[in-house]
Amino acid sequence: MRSVENPKNRFEPAEIEWEDGEAPLALLHVHEERSKTILSENDSPDLGFRFSINPYRGCQHACAYCYARPSHQYWGFGAGTDFDREIIVKVNAPELLREAFARKSWKGESITFSGNTDCYQPLEGRYQLTRQLLSICLEHKNPVAIITKSPLIRRDLDVLSALAREARLTVFMSIAFADDETARAIEPGAPAIHRRFEALRALAGAGIETGVAMAPIIPGLNDKDIGKVLQRARDAGARHAFRTLLRLPAEVKPVFLTRLREARPQAADKIENAIRDARGGELYDNRFGARMHGEGARWLAIEDLFDLQCKRLGLNADRDEPSAGAAEPSTFERPGPQLKLF
């Protein structure tokens, strides 16, 4: 990796648009890396996709609950503030994707962007790796699904609209809270909630299939927001919705609990107990098939509320289990002259 000591000014309006109070407080260090691979293959039953792309490691959104935090330790960084400010950029991601698409073994399966960290985090405004990768997917008509918190995605409406027409595209906007204040306390570097709904409306207005990811649901904190989030998402044109329960693996647990106690000192114990109620008395269950879902009366009530609201609003009307990158026939084509016998 090559450390970039003085990256281009992240406040330049032409590259990244910040609202007052949205810029991260931590000093940012950027590390450029030439990766060996760009496509990650997943075999977990908890996730609804097989292949994903993450052009960035670490995330400036600094969400206290991010389950990707422990993976940052593989590169010698910490899972706390290092995850928020020591960002690794895979500068050769576009050439790696071209190489992957050129292999005969690639069958054109859907690729999910942001399976680990947000592909539209602020540094994308400078590096434009996600835009380049999406353009390559468009060139090959490879199906794509995107999960993001960032209105920066609106910059790429031209590429995204073409992908929706020529191949297949679904964009899920990740919105776990109904108001900006609560979100800012738990997701201090992420874009404001109202800007995410604006982005969702713009995407739907451009003819792109959209959904809302209420992820994670934190019992005792944002389960009360389910109806409001789903209603606003539907009003913005979303057609699908999914939820996940808060995951607190390994080093994520102290990061989240510390942030929670700082942000909600009076309610922290109550919220922690509510999380335990949904996890059989524990804060986390690492078993495959159980990590994204809970158990017990409280979680069943949350699931029922979510499903009833989706039914009321007509969300997920055309499929039972919406998930980014669901298996469908591929539109993938290798560009250039094709030798045809018939």
Q: What is the CATH number of the domain that holds 239?
A: 3.20.20.70
Domain-located, residue 151: yes
Domain-located, residue 16: no
Domain-located, residue 307: yes
Domain-located, residue 3: no
Could you tell me if 50 and 42 are in contact, meaning their C-beta atoms sit under 8 angstroms apart? yes
Domain-located, residue 8: no
Q: How many separate domains does the chain show?
A: 1
Going residue by residue through the chain, which has 342 residues, state the pLDDT in tens, using 9 for 90 and above: 555 443 444 334 444 444 444 555 558 999 999 999 999 987 766 666 789 999 999 999 999 999 999 999 999 999 999 999 999 999 999 999 999 999 999 999 999 998 889 999 999 999 999 999 999 999 999 999 999 999 999 999 999 999 999 999 999 999 999 999 999 999 999 999 999 999 999 999 999 999 999 999 999 999 999 999 999 999 999 999 999 999 999 899 999 999 999 999 999 999 999 999 999 999 988 877 777 789 999 999 999 999 999 999 999 998 644 444 445 788 999 987 553 332
Domain-located, residue 323: no
b/e sequence 64-83, b meaning 16+ C-beta within 10 Å: bbbbbbebbeeeebebbebb
Check: pTM over 0.85? Answer yes or no: yes
Nearest to 83 by CA among 42, 126, 26, 13: 26
> Is 264 exposed, middle or buried (CB count within 10 Å of its CB: 0-12, 13-18, 19+)?
middle
Give CA–CA dist 37/155, Å, rounded: 26
Nearest to 245 by CA among 228, 264, 220: 220
Domain-located, residue 12: no
Structural domain for 86, as ranges: 22-313
In tens, the pLDDT along 25-50 reads 558 999 999 999 999 987 766 666 78
Measured CA distances, 292 to 22, 176, 211, 217, 285 (Å):
29, 14, 18, 10, 9
Domain-located, residue 84: yes
